[in-house]
Amino acid sequence: MAISYVDVYHLMHSDGDLWRKAEVACFKAAGDILNESAGTANHANRVVWAHATLPDPAAAAAAMKYSILQNATIQAAGHTSTDNDVQYVVNSLIDSFATGA
């Protein structure tokens, strides 16, 4: 079943469990990046992202918010999205956000 634009809007502007999960997913991803091999693609930029994320994972999650909502599984499940689904989506977005800036 397709989710309506109004439903997506409500997710965009809510303060629910999806965003709490996204914050934890960013926090966990940052820790994992600091332990990954230096040979990992885009490693230097990923480390910059991780160091920026660890002290304020809420800001990292907020920056990714609309990109996270592009995922159809997340849209459909909304605040009931599983931890694994949220982590997967966050992990898949890191290289897009890890620009070294």
pLDDT surpassing 60 at residue 1: no
Q: What is the pTM of this model?
A: 0.94
What's the number of CA atoms in the CB half-sphere (13 Å) around residue 23?
12
3-9: long-range contacts at Cβ-Cβ below 8 A with a sequence spacing of 24 or more?
3/75, 3/76, 3/78, 7/75, 7/78, 8/69, 8/75
Is residue 97 within 8 A of residue 63, CB to CB? The reply is yes
Rounded mean pLDDT of 23-48?
A: 97
Structure tokens at 31: 């820790």
Q: How high is the pLDDT of residue 59?
A: 98
